[in-house]
Amino acid sequence: MKKISGILLLLLIINGCTTLPATVEIDPAETGDVVESFKAMVGAWRQCDCSVDAEADIEFNSFFYHGVVNGYLQAMSPSYLKFVGINPLGQPLVVLLSDGEYFHYLVVPQAKAYQGNVHGRTFTGYAPDGFQPGFVFSWLVGRLAPGVVKILTVSRGRQEQGYWLRLLAGKGSQESLVLFDDQAGVIRRRLIMDKNNEIVMNVLYDAYTSAPCPLPGSITIESPAHNSSMEIKLTGWLDNVALGPEEFSCHLPAGFSRVMVP
Mean pLDDT of the chain: 88
Question: Where does residue 75 rank: exposed (0-12), middle (13-18), buried (19+ CB within 10 A)?
Answer: buried
Interior/surface letters 230-244, b for 16+ CB within 10 angstroms, e for the rest = bbbbbeeeeeebebe
Report yes or no: 179 and 189 within 8 Å, Cβ to Cβ.
Answer: yes
* pLDDT value, residue 60: 84
* pLDDT value, residue 189: 97
* pLDDT value, residue 11: 45
What would the mean pLDDT of 186-209 be, rounded to a whole number? 92
* pLDDT value, residue 194: 83
* pLDDT value, residue 246: 93
What would the mean pLDDT of 194-219 be, rounded to a whole number? 92
* pLDDT value, residue 83: 96
Instruction: Answer yes or no: is pLDDT of 4 > 50.
Output: no
Domain 2-260 annotated CATH 2.50.20.10? yes
Instruction: Answer yes or no: is pLDDT of 17 > 50.
Output: no
* Cα torsion 138, 13, 150, 165: sign: negative
pLDDT by residue (tens digit) across 41-56? 999 999 999 999 999 9
Most confident of 16-25, 113-122, 194-203: 113-122
Instruction: Answer yes or no: is pLDDT of 226 > 80.
Output: no
Compute how many other C-beta atoms are within 10 angstroms of the C-beta atom of residue 60.
Answer: 23
* pLDDT value, residue 128: 77
pLDDT by residue (tens digit) across 136-179? 999 999 999 888 889 999 999 999 999 999 998 765 567 899 99
Domain ranges of the chain: 2-260
Confidence of residue 197 (pLDDT cuts 50, 70, 90): confident
Report yes or no: 74 and 247 within 8 Å, Cβ to Cβ.
Answer: yes
* pLDDT value, residue 64: 66
Supply the DSSP string of 118-132, one letter for each residue.
TTSHHHHHHSPTT--
pLDDT by residue (tens digit) across 27-84? 999 999 999 999 999 999 999 999 999 999 999 887 667 889 999 999 999 999 999 9
Residues forming a β-bridge with 156: 24, 163
* pLDDT value, residue 224: 81
DSSP 3-state of 54? strand
Tell how far CA 116 is from the center of its chain.
20
Instruction: Answer yes or no: is pLDDT of 232 > 70.
Output: yes
* pLDDT value, residue 229: 84
